[in-house]
Amino acid sequence: MNGRPLNWLARPTFSMLKGEPRLYTKYSDGILIEAGHYLLRKRSLLRFFHGKIAALDPRTPIFQVPNESFYDKRTEKIRTSYLKLAALHGEPILRKFVKGEPVAPDDFKPGDCRKLALKASRLERTASPEIILPPYFSIGGSTDPWIPVNMEIFREIIRLEGAPRVYFPLALDHRVLEDRDELDAVCRITSKIDPWGYAVWPVGFDEFHSNVRELQGLAHLLSNLTGDKILMYAGYFSILLCALTGSSFSNGPCFYEKRDITISPPLEFRPRCRYYLPPIHQKVDPVAALALYRILNELGISPSLCRSCRKYAQGDDFTRIAEMPDIDIFEHNFLTRRKEVDILKRSRNPLELGLENLLFLQSIRDEISHIRQMRFLKTWIEALELVQEITRDIRPTGPGVS
Contact 156, 117 (CB under 8 A): yes
* Residue type present at position 102: P
Position among 88, 306, 344, 401 found at the interface with Zn ion (CB under 5 A): 306
Buried b (16+ CB within 10 A) or exposed e, 322-350: eebeebbbbbbbbbbbbebbeebbebeeb
Cis peptide bond prior to 164, omega within 30° of 0: no
Which span (167-175, 302-310, 343-351, 385-393) binds Zn ion, by CB under 5 A?
A: 302-310
Closer by beta carbon to Zn ion, 231 or else 329: 329
Q: Closest approach of Cβ 305 to Zn ion, in Å? A: 5
Nearer to Zn ion, 279 or 354 (CB): 279
Distance separating alpha carbons of residues 256 and 271, to the nearest angstrom = 9
C-alpha closest to that of 41 among 53, 28, 29, 30: 53
Residue 203 or 341: the one with the smaller Cβ distance to Zn ion is 341
Distance in Å, CB of 22 to Zn ion, minimum: 17
Work out how close the CB of 336 gets to Zn ion at its nearest, in angstroms, rounded to a whole number.
6
Q: Is 23 in the site for Zn ion (CB under 5 A)?
A: no
Question: Which lies closer to Zn ion via its Cβ, residue 174 or residue 332?
Answer: 332
**For residues 11 and 332, which CB has a smaller minimum distance to Zn ion in the complex?**
332
Least Cβ distance, residue 337 to Zn ion (angstroms): 11
Cα–Cα dist 340/332, whole Å? 12
CA 309, CA 323: separation in Å to the nearest integer?
11
Nearest approach, Cβ of residue 147 and Zn ion (Å):
44
Q: How far is the CB of 121 from Zn ion (least distance, A)?
A: 41
When asked if residue 280 is in the footprint of Zn ion (CB under 5 A), the reply is: no
Residue 296 found at the interface with Zn ion (CB under 5 A): no
From the list 91, 38, 42, the residue with the least C-alpha distance to 63 is 91
Other residues' Cβ atoms within 10 Å of the Cβ of residue 402: 9
- CB count within 10 Å of CB 11 equals 23
Query: Which string of DSSP letters, residue by residue, matches 100-143?
Result: T----GGG--TTHHHHHHHHHHHHHHHT--SSB------BSSTT
| 174 lines the binding site for Zn ion (CB under 5 A) | no
Indicate the residue among 14 and 334 with the shorter CB distance to Zn ion. Answer: 334
401, 245 Cβ separation under 8 angstroms? no
In the complex, least distance from residue 310 CB atom to Zn ion, rounded to whole angstroms: 8
Nearest to residue 207, comparing CAs of 284, 281, 137, 292?
Answer: 281
Distance CA 386, CA 241 (A): 12
Q: Which is nearer to Zn ion, 172 or 306 (CB)?
A: 306
Q: Pick the closest to residue 195 from 132, 108, 251 (CA basis).
A: 132
Per-residue string for binding with Zn ion, 342-381, x by CB under 5 A?
A: ----------------------------------------
Q: Per CB under 5 A, does 309 bind Zn ion?
A: yes
Work out whether 321 is an interface residue with Zn ion (CB under 5 A). no
Residues in binding contact with Zn ion, number by CB under 5 A: 4
Least distance from C-beta 279 to Zn ion, angstroms? 12
Q: Among 11, 332, 338, 345, which residue interacts with Zn ion (rule: CB under 5 A)? A: 332
- The CB-of-297 to Zn ion minimum distance in angstroms stands at 15
98 or 287: whose CB is closer to Zn ion? 287
- Contact residues toward Zn ion (CB under 5 A) are 306, 308-309, 332
